[in-house]
Structure 1
């Protein structure tokens, strides 16, 4: 989870990640929820995708700013803007 290329460091990338999870384009099976959490070992923040048994399917490291500012995106989902 500490691969720096995979760190989500802005809200736009978080939104893009959530849209990929919602659309199924990441190929994950049985997605039931998404949440943000803190790693107990090192205090790093991450966004996690869970199945209905609360088993971790995928996690991506996020910056502290994204953790603080992205709660509504994760909690309420992405609202697409009409053009």
Structure 2
């Protein structure tokens, strides 16, 4: 992951992360999608940012609670616009 120590552990942080990606705050290029995923090696959950070729271009670890309760937020997008 891009920052091993930075785990998103609440829905407000997840929403802020999604808004940052959406608004270009991370400087990522060719963003086409965001999803929740699980690392096959150790089973840890993360939010993944994909490019137009469905390749992972950025990821942030999330807590188990955020993984379970943030799926709708990721699929429907953040509620706030700023």
Give the TM bin, normalised by the shorter chain: over 0.9
Q: Which has the higher helix share?
A: 1
The number of aligned residues is 80
CA distance in 2, matches of 1:3, 1:37: 16
Shift of 1:79: 1.2
Q: After superposition, where does 1:39-78 map in structure 2 within 5 Å? A: 39-78=39-78
Structure 1 unaligned segments of length 5 or more: list them: none
Which residue number corresponds to residue 38 of structure 2? 38
Q: After superposition, where does 1:5-44 map in structure 2 within 5 Å? A: 6-44=6-44
Structure 2 unaligned segments of length 5 or more: list them: none
RMSD of equivalent CA atoms = 1.3
Larger Rg belongs to:
1
Shift of 1:13: 0.4
Shift of 1:3: 1.7
TM-score (norm 1): 0.92
Shift of 1:39: 0.5
User: 1:13-63: per-residue Cα shift (whole Å, max 9, x none)?
Assistant: 000000000000100000000000110100000000001100111000000
Runs of 4+ in 1 over 3 A off after TM superposition: none
